[in-house]
Amino acid sequence: MGRKFFGTDGIRGRTNQGKMNAELAMRVGQAAGAHFRRGDHRHRVVIGKDTRLSGYMIESALVAGFTSTGMDVIMTGPLPTPAIALITREMRADLGVMISASHNPYEDNGIKLFGPDGFKLSDEDEMAIEALMEQPPQLADAEHIGRARRIEDARGRYIHAVKRSIGSDIRFDGLRIVVDCAHGAAYQVAPSAIWELGAEVIPLGVSPNGTNINDEVGSTALEAVKAKVVEEGAHIGIALDGDADRLIVIDEKGKAVDGDQMMALIATRMSETRRLTGGGVVATVMSNLGLERYLRGLGLGLERTKVGDRYVLQRMREGGFNLGGEQSGHMILLDHATTGDGTVAALRVLASLVREGKPASELLHLFDPVPQLLKNVRYDGGAPLEAETVKRAIAEAESELGDGGRLVIRPSGTEPVIRVMAEGDDAAQVEQIVDRVCDAVRDAA
């Protein structure tokens, strides 16, 4: 059975247009509340959000839904997604909810759900909630309606937890760090955590007004943070996205460092200290071949999954890995978080900067990326990847690349687009191959 509401990362859409509205949020609360009412204890749910204007509406509707089914609600206000996962587990809650559309513009919003263990829900749980959303709600008797309260110490709990993710001997004294919070969920906690460890923090994107989240700031709009690092003579810059589960680093020269180089750095340190489990790292099909070759040189493996941090996390849990991530900046350190955490990853990078005493441009360049090219082909319908001409073009491209390169063809999960990515040691060859496959897909479409 296909999904009607949930996508690859919860429910997401344009607010008050289509599915993402107050009515849907209340139905989610009622359905999830019914699904997670298990046992005789007083049930509770933790709800957090980012800084979008629509967060007030979605939060109120979720509170109505959950309390109507007999669940007590604990609201934290704006906090990163990983903080909600953490607090859900710490408070022995039955469920956690994050209201966010991550790196999307403010007009969008979303609902992410976490189980009592702090991990995102399984496909089975999401399908069960979808089924309950299509049925009449299971309302509590009047005497058993839930209560709602807002807690004031949630920020402090999270700051304490992320600081514990690095050694107690580490201080950031003398470091000038630009911290770009995208006017999003981490606008208070990320600068505070880094400042408490001794750094001089140069804040950027820390003045949310409800409509400026991710607007020309943050991990998907890097020009402002790059310029700020150079202008201020900072040692490093940190760019988070709207819900702070993603990180991009900027070196002292104003150059962006992606998730592949960060995984290489963190894996190296964890391997040296014998804290890396699973024999390597989990990443997606989009991670650069250069990362795979670098890890192989350390005697470590790279396991690849489909694009999406939930698939990375699933493989990590199956294989006993404690480090994984995406080239786009999701970093999962399972020893400290149950989901991607940009602030935890940032502290790991900063700790290495202190230990190694090297400039960020050197510290975060552990391998030369193999030339990689990604192009998108938009199509109106049908199944162009099933066409024989496309299959033949893909087979020829794979044969031409051989063992020295990779070809990844995948349909987008959010729009009618086929993504064509190739990488290999010869940049000109890679470009020719991508263009040929794109032409075949375009002709078939």
Q: Splitting the chain (445 residues) into consecutive groups of 10 residues, what average pLDDT does each group show? A: 78 92 98 92 96 98 98 98 97 97 95 95 93 95 96 96 95 98 98 98 98 97 98 98 97 97 98 97 96 97 92 95 96 96 98 96 96 91 88 93 91 82 94 94 88
pLDDT at 2: 62
CATH number corresponding to 11-151: 3.40.120.10
The residue assigned the tokens 């063992």 is 403
What residue segments make up the domains of the chain, in order of their start? Answer: 11-151, 158-256, 257-341, 372-444
Sheet holding 301-305, edge to edge: 301-305, 280-284, 323-325, 331-333
CB 215 within 8 A of CB 105: yes
- What is the dotted CATH code of the domain comprising 257-341? 3.40.120.10
By C-alpha distance, which of 404, 408, 407, 245 is closest to 333? Answer: 245
Contacts of 408 (CB under 8 A, 6+ apart): 285, 286, 419, 420, 421, 422
Topology (CATH) of 158-256: Alpha-D-Glucose-1,6-Bisphosphate; Chain A, domain 3 (3.40.120)
What confidence score (pLDDT) does residue 444 get? 86
Instruction: Give kind and range of the element (H or E) at residue 223.
Output: helix 223-232
Q: What residues are labeled active site? A: 102
Q: Which CATH class for the 372-444 domain?
A: alpha beta
What is the reported pLDDT for 413? 67
User: Residue 414's pLDDT is what?
Assistant: 64
What pLDDT, on a 0 to 100 scale, did the predictor assign at position 411? 86
Query: Is the dihedral angle over the CA atoms 219, 223, 226, 228 positive or is it negative?
Result: negative
Query: Can you tell me the distance from the alpha carbon of 27 to that of 23, in angstroms, rounded to the nearest whole number?
Result: 6
CA-to-CA distance for 55 and 61, rounded, in angstroms? 10
Query: Strands across the sheet with 405-411, in order?
Result: 372-378, 417-424, 405-411
Residue with tokens 């729009």: 415
Determine how many CB atoms are found less than 10 A away from the CB of residue 367. 17
Q: Do domains 158-256 and 257-341 have the same CATH topology?
A: yes
Determine whether 386 is exposed, middle or buried from the number of CB atoms within 10 Å of its CB (0-12, 13-18, 19+). exposed
| Spatial separation of the C-alpha atoms in residues 338 and 427, rounded to whole Å | 38
Q: How far apart are CA 103 and CA 413, in angstroms?
A: 16
What's the predicted TM-score (pTM) here?
Answer: 0.92
Say which residues have a Cβ less than 8 Å from residue 193's Cβ, sequence separation at least 6: 159, 162, 163, 343, 347
SS3 19: coil
